[in-house]
Structure 1
Amino acid sequence: MPSTSSLQSHLTVLETSASLFSSKPVFKLAVKSQANDTADTWTPISYKAFHSDVELSARYWFKHLSAKGVSPGSVVGLWLAGMDYSDVVNIYGISRAGYVPQLFSLRLPNPTVVYELLERAKAKAIVVERSLKEVASNPPVPLLIAASIADLDSSAKDTLPAFPTPKSKHDPLFVFHTSGSTSGSPKLVPCSAEWVDSIVFKSGECSIPKDSQRQDVTSWMGSVCHIAQSTMFIGSMQHGGCTIRPTTIQFSSNELGDMIKRCGLNRLHQFASFLSTHLRRARDDPKLLSLFQSLDCVLYSGLPLPKDEEEFALSKGINVVNLFGSTEVSAMLISQGGSGPSARWLRPLKGVKYGFFPIASSTQSEAVHVSANSQLHELVILSDSPDCPDTSLRSKTDGHFHTGDLFQEMQPGLYLARGRDDDWIKSLNSLRCDTKAIEDNLRATCSDLVAECIVVGTGRPSPALFIEPLTKMDDEKLKKEIIRRTRQFHARRYLHEQITSEEFIVVVAPKTLPRTATKGNIRRKAVEEEYKALLDEMFDME
């Protein structure tokens, strides 16, 4: 086992990279145009400047948190959008000051749920985005407003705390949260020093440059309050890479072209739902296709890329790579890349200990399509793997972490993802949603109104509810009544899990939703396929 002094973290990576790549840009920040959907300019931030800002942030937060009686080692909540440079500086600064950041994004809008999670993590303070000052009333711990970059200058002469070193590999460095709600709120995902060390190692493998003589330039994937962007940024920093913050995460193909031509983007990192839009346009746009072909790597994560789009990209020489991960484990598997059928197959990252446990055919999800003689395996993170999540998230039966993700072994050590064995789906932002919880709540609150229901929404901004009514009530009146009865339940959930408007409820005739032949259960994937055009229109998606 490594000693604690040898454990790597986001902070040790920054220290090393700021020394090795001092003058290189670590960020390029979009300054949005008033005239169109791209950036007017891109402001570079050097490694030296970022390191200096993080140390200023550490001085600032050590002073202000100490004044509130919050001692180093305490958990401090941060409720931020996670999309700005200042958010990264606040998070890294609070960590550099010796505190443990507990990260909330704005996708969790309910302060009651946030406060409950603060209390579960034994947090001693919360830092909120300025726009949340009025929303975050009566918190259970001292509340502070997130610092702007200009605010930090006031602390230039304040004390810089000693560089934090964990006393034990079990010491927490972060607290994240599952991206979906269970029993009314997300679960805590405590991240130990050993776990973060494994993230540094794995993210470095995922970000190895094709040409070590050239600086890699990557794209910002999502909120740094979630694990995906946090991981990819650590990986990029290790190799002296630069991360572009676009005008929006769902940036246009025009802005993608600008990032390639004006900023030198050579590694595109995107969630599959957003990447799909660009690939569809590239079919009819030779210039965009050519730009894709010039990239060293097109890495996607979250959801599977539609097979026809992935095959199109691979057939055109685009180096598409799938990085398979989760909040609890971060990156786990990576695809081969290149060309041919094996380009899509996944292998575990180095230095991990995973099991692929065979599952009984009766537990296979109806969303999984494999031949009758194909054995499916569940990916299990073994208890002695350095990236195995906190014990609170592991199975009480065998001590391992069961992901619920199913795979088919194509060749020894190479796998193809085949869905899940539960009722969770992933939204447009690749965040999870427990469809069964929504359905169960509807049955409990509207049993006199609804005969059957199903929640769908894979790859959509939020879920949609299909119902077969039990009553002769007018459809619009029925929808309004369902929203009224379920409002309290949805108010506690992430934005991507909520159904709060009648426009996301579809009423169909009884016994018309597609069902399984044996048990008569409604088939979620079949509903999504049959009503695809309606769902596209509902969410205004191409």
Structure 2
Amino acid sequence: MPLRTHLAALDATASLYPSRPVFKVPKLASPGSDEIEEWSSISYSQFKSDVDLYAKYWARTLAADGLPPRTTVGLWYVPSSAGYIPQLFSLRLPNPDVVYELLQRAHAKALIYEPSFANTVSDCPLPTHVALEVREEDVEGAVLPPREDPVNGDDIVVIFHTSGSTSGSPKLVPCNYTWLDAMISKAYHTTKPKNTGRQDVSVWMGSMCHIAQNFMLFGSIQHGSCTVQPTKIAFSSDELIDMVTRCGLNRLNQFATFLATQLRNSHHNPKLLGVLQNLDEVVYSGLMLPPDDERWAYDKEILLRNLFGNTECGAMLLSVGGRGADTRLLQPIEGTDYGFFPLSSASENKSEHVDANSQLLELVILSSSPDCPDRSLRNADGHYHTGDLFLELKPGHYIARGRDDDWIKSENSLRCDTKAIEDNVRATCGDLVSDCIVVGNGRPSPALFVEPKVDVSPEVLKRDIIRRIRHFHSRRYLHERITSAEFIFVVAKGTLPRTATKGNIRRKAVEEAYRAELDAVFGMSF
């Protein structure tokens, strides 16, 4: 059986359901307005036609640069359909120096950029092309590149980047055709409609530069479903109601932080509560829901489902779903081959996750699993160790219990290496700070707590720290940065909660102890 691709899935569905809407997009009443005048539909046949149009344009444009097919080009979908390997860059990584380094590391030969970045990429070492709207007359005489079934499953098809930085920049996540085929298979099972007698309608989950929305779109296209594009990823409850009313939304996909807001709003909004209760499925990902919000949803019989995944493997585990005590338990998605292995050594952070008598298991993607990431990302044993910890509550059924490292996730579920930030503070501010800790799980960005070494006012200390760490943070994703003194908290020496054995500061305990202060500075309740 040939390996499947996203382009083959689109071709098949566009042939089967040409007039079905693949997307619904908002048309605002006026520029700058929040009022949605109408939701416009884009059909499968139109989408396929647009993909083919842009494929012709970019195939001709890049070939004119002397770039043969299967050259890596910095940007998905269109370069892919034109026969090139897209390297996707998030707009949350605005530092051009880091982008250029990543392009070089991937041996990319060109960069396609969004028009607003024209000045930013003026010194790009590679040929650049602006991503403008293409018309039929722009491709007159151009030929659509042939789309052949992939022969070698090890050939790279797309390059993502880790959602957090390591040593000053994200890591490359090269993905091959075997991996893509596995994503398409897993996405099919994950997004299967509950009612085959009608078209499923879900909502955009995140940026196409990251795996989450790509994965959901892989599944949606296979089922001939429709995806609504909201005005923003953290859309309001009123907009959710509007999408249900005017777009026929019946399946909600959201990161946990954003879903938690909808659930809290439903406490005092009966119409919203009714909308949530009538959805076929409410899928959340990225983080676990806060316990109070999870209890509320189950008490109100909202059909929650947890989707557990990461950039390197896409979705890996899916909760049982439905109603009842075991519906939140996670199971590996069909067609995968995973191991859940006891930690090789006792972790001092274990008490942060679970009772000391419970056995924590690390999720390991075995090399035999078709979704096992590229060899460059695997451990010495040939398998991919996720670092994600679980408890097995009954055979084959698990519940997530955090990570065995110092990474946290932001509100949009992108990762942040807290230890790297702490190490930089200690290296640059060792004469000012006696100890520090970075927190911010589920927040828009991290926050830094410091115990001072010098007798100066908190305001002066914060300004000095910001000045010294500025260069380090300039290279990081927006969600990893500390760029303002308001996100630095100065507390008395020795007051941050610590472990009993080694005296290390306890990250989760700091989050809890200073929740009110964090809520105030971020302007949110979490």
TM-score (norm 1): 0.95
1:409 to 392, 403, 406: 392
Task: Point out the more displaced range, 443-452 or 132-141.
Answer: 132-141
Contact 2:317 2:330 in 1 (8 A): yes
The amino acid of 1:96's aligned partner reads S
Give, in angstroms, the shift of residue 368 of structure 1: 3.7
Contact 1:367 1:525 in 2 (8 A): no
1:16 to 8, 12, 19: 12
Q: Which whole-Å CA distance do the structure 1 matches of 2:183 and 2:198 have between them?
A: 24
3-state SS, counterpart of residue 455 of structure 2: coil
CA change 1:341–1:360 in 2 (3 A) is farther
Give, in angstroms, the shift of residue 166 of structure 1: 2.4
Matches within 5 A, 1:110-121: 110-121=95-106
Which residue of 2 is the match for residue 495 of structure 1? 478
Give, in angstroms, the shift of residue 426 of structure 1: 0.1
Q: Is the aligned partner of 1:235 residue 2:231?
A: no
3-state SS, counterpart of residue 76 of structure 1: strand
Give, in angstroms, the shift of residue 371 of structure 1: 2.8
Q: Which whole-Å CA distance do the structure 1 matches of 2:136 and 2:116 have between them?
A: 19
Contact 1:31 1:247 in 2 (8 A): no
Matches within 5 A, 1:307-456: 307-360=291-344, 362-363=346-347, 365-366=349-350, 368-396=352-380, 398-456=381-439
- Work out the number of aligned pairs and report it: 524
RMSD: 1.3
1:77 to 60, 74, 78: 74
3-state SS, counterpart of residue 158 of structure 2: strand
Give, in angstroms, the shift of residue 152 of structure 1: 5.7
Which residue of 2 is the match for residue 86 of structure 1? none
* Cα-to-partner distance string for 1:454-513 (whole Å, 9 max, x where unaligned): 000000000000000001122112111111111111111100001111111111111111
1:173 to 143, 153, 157: 157
Contact 2:313 2:372 in 1 (8 A): yes
Give, in angstroms, the shift of residue 310 of structure 1: 1.2
- Fraction of identical pairs, as percent: 59
Q: Which whole-Å CA distance do the structure 2 matches of 1:428 and 1:52 have between them?
A: 36
Q: Which whole-Å CA distance do the structure 2 matches of 1:224 and 1:403 have between them?
A: 22
Q: Which whole-Å CA distance do the structure 2 matches of 1:172 and 1:360 have between them?
A: 33
Which residue of 2 is the match for residue 509 of structure 1? 492
Give, in angstroms, the shift of residue 231 of structure 1: 0.4
Q: Which whole-Å CA distance do the structure 1 matches of 2:410 and 2:136 have between them?
A: 36
3-state SS, counterpart of residue 413 of structure 2: coil
Matches within 5 A, 1:2-41: 2=1, 6-34=2-30, 37-41=34-38
Q: Is the aligned partner of 1:304 residue 2:283?
A: no
Q: Which whole-Å CA distance do the structure 2 matches of 1:205 and 1:414 have between them?
A: 18
Q: Which whole-Å CA distance do the structure 2 matches of 1:331 and 1:410 have between them?
A: 21
2:43 to 42, 46, 49: 46
Give, in angstroms, the shift of residue 28 of structure 1: 0.2
Give, in angstroms, the shift of residue 52 of structure 1: 0.2
Q: Which whole-Å CA distance do the structure 1 matches of 2:215 and 2:337 have between them?
A: 19
Contact 1:129 1:145 in 2 (8 A): yes
Task: Point out the more displaced range, 14-23 or 150-159.
Answer: 150-159
* Cα-to-partner distance string for 1:316-347 (whole Å, 9 max, x where unaligned): 11110000000000000000111222111000
Q: Which whole-Å CA distance do the structure 2 matches of 1:427 and 1:350 have between them?
A: 29
Give, in angstroms, the shift of residue 421 of structure 1: 0.5
Q: Which whole-Å CA distance do the structure 1 matches of 2:127 and 2:33 have between them?
A: 42
Which residue of 2 is the match for residue 198 of structure 1? 182
CA change 1:367–1:435 in 2 (3 A) is farther
Q: Is the aligned partner of 1:217 residue 2:201?
A: yes
Q: Is the aligned partner of 1:541 residue 2:520?
A: no
Contact 1:101 1:174 in 2 (8 A): yes
Q: Which whole-Å CA distance do the structure 2 matches of 1:391 and 1:111 have between them?
A: 28
1:281 to 265, 275, 279: 265
CA change 1:18–1:439 in 2 (3 A) is same
The amino acid of 2:430's aligned partner reads S
Give, in angstroms, the shift of residue 207 of structure 1: 0.5
Give, in angstroms, the shift of residue 147 of structure 1: 2.5
* Cα-to-partner distance string for 1:434-467 (whole Å, 9 max, x where unaligned): 0000000110111000001000000000000000
Which residue of 1 is the match for residue 447 of structure 2? 464
Task: Point out the more displaced range, 32-41 or 416-425.
Answer: 32-41
The amino acid of 1:312's aligned partner reads W
3-state SS, counterpart of residue 362 of structure 1: coil
Give, in angstroms, the shift of residue 361 of structure 1: 6.3
Q: Which whole-Å CA distance do the structure 2 matches of 1:187 and 1:33 have between them?
A: 41
The amino acid of 1:41's aligned partner reads E
